[in-house]
Structure 1
Amino acid sequence: MKCVIERNGVKVFGKAVHALARIGDELWLDPMMKGLAMRSVNSAHSAYACFLFSPLFFQHYSPDTGPAQDCGTVKCKLVMKSVLPLFRCLATIERNVDSCQISINLPDNRVIFQFHCRHGITKTHNLGFQESEALQAVFPSHLCPNVLKAQPRLLGDMVMHFPVSQEEITLSMSPLRVNLKSYYEDESDQMKAMHTEMSLDPSEFDYFQVGVDSDITFCLKELRGLLSFAESHGLPVSAHFGAAGKPVAFSVDDMVLEASVVLATLVNPESRTPSQATEAQAPAALR
């Protein structure tokens, strides 16, 4: 695989890495004909995220891994701590980087990130990878009875009212209102912590579909990265969900990229055990 990202796209790609770093400690690179997918999952398999960059996103994109390899056969699993520092300072990247070339070196099991900077400076990073089956979320979001779609600024303003330490929130939806409030697993924490609750009218959303009244509780930390990405690029965010205990999927899409985060929800607001009903799983074989 070899691809070249132009200057403006390098920051976008970096923001995607930042969002995925909120999910898990490992990053999967999956080059396919329809684009380059980057995926991550947390250790409990209760949160999964995927960014898919179409070939149109790149100045050059070739998914072939080599003359002796079928297209898309190699799935690279990288340690997130080795990738994130390359995109740590996005402001510096925006000022100094003209393009970024990403390629896979099969004989050495290396992913090569090459940054072409101003004044003719080239920075090359060789990261070791492990071949691994690609992750894929098994969740038919189109079958969900409840759908919300909103501008990223609205969701960003809502989340901003919750402290960074807030781990989980509860989203309640009915034909008349949408409520978002703090959730605390431990009763002693409920007594000490600040409670935040807000209510929104359906008219504030771009799209509002209620199939069933629902109260779902999910982790906020993993969602913040996608919301930050969406807000920085002005992309509307869609949420698909149903009853408590079923996953909730948040997604954004553009002409050149798609991104989604799938989160497990508690069986009910009083439950102490996250739902094990589904989430990320690897396909039976490499393709």
Structure 2
Amino acid sequence: MKDKQARRAAMERRWELRSCGRHGHLTYAPDESGLASRLRADSAQGEAWRCLRCGDYALGPATASGPADDAPVPLRGKALRDAFIIRLLAIERLLRGVFLIAAAYVVWRFVGAKDSVQRVFDKDLPAVRDLSRRTGIDFADAAPTRLLQRALDAGHSTLVLLAAGVLAYGLLEILEAYGLWIMKRWGEYVAVVGTAVFLPLEIYELTEKVSALKIVAFLINLAAVAWLIWSKHLFGVRGGRAAFEKERESTSLLEVERTAAQV
């Protein structure tokens, strides 16, 4: 048990050190003298302050100062690892949103070009049917031909609504990506609701035709919804927002030192 906890602590420390390596140490000099003395040290090179993220001492004056209650609360340990996962989700949502917006543009362009496409279809289809008779291959009933025919059969208003719906979905994905990337709680709610709404549609598509890509996409979305709700205490789960804030504050180095100073 102790070995497992030590490995977990070592892993979490690597995340913290990696973050400090990219962004620099985050030091803070609280106005409370007793607390400040626990974070400050003197060395042959001068004063040093403990980093609120990784806990190591960094030479030089603190990067910020003020009341302890105003000190920043950097992500540490599990929260820092979770932030990496959330930003991976944000990138995936961004790519999906860009793809959907591009798809909406293609549908919109198709609406304007529908008449010309219909003329080409009407002109060439008889030749395709003649070729089918000669070769014995039914090109007219091929999947791409049937898909194009269904699109041509759709009314103008239907295609416009389709383009608008795909565009709205793409913009929702972009909003999810932005909210997740900046680590806002509303972004997590938008991601959960926006993803969960389409899970029944994904299940229906799987009943129509199963493919490895559909299964993987469904499992990723299902896991993302469950993980966000559980780990971020959304919708009141596991104590809700209050429990989430308490969990985050419990990892704060400043809070740990303040508690130790009061003992």
| TM-score under structure 1 length normalisation | 0.20
Indicate the structure whose relative CO is greater, using CA pairs within 8 Å and at least 6 residues apart.
1
Question: Higher helix proportion, which one?
Answer: 2
- Bigger-Rg structure (1/2): 2
Question: Higher strand proportion, which one?
Answer: 1
| TM-score under structure 2 length normalisation | 0.21
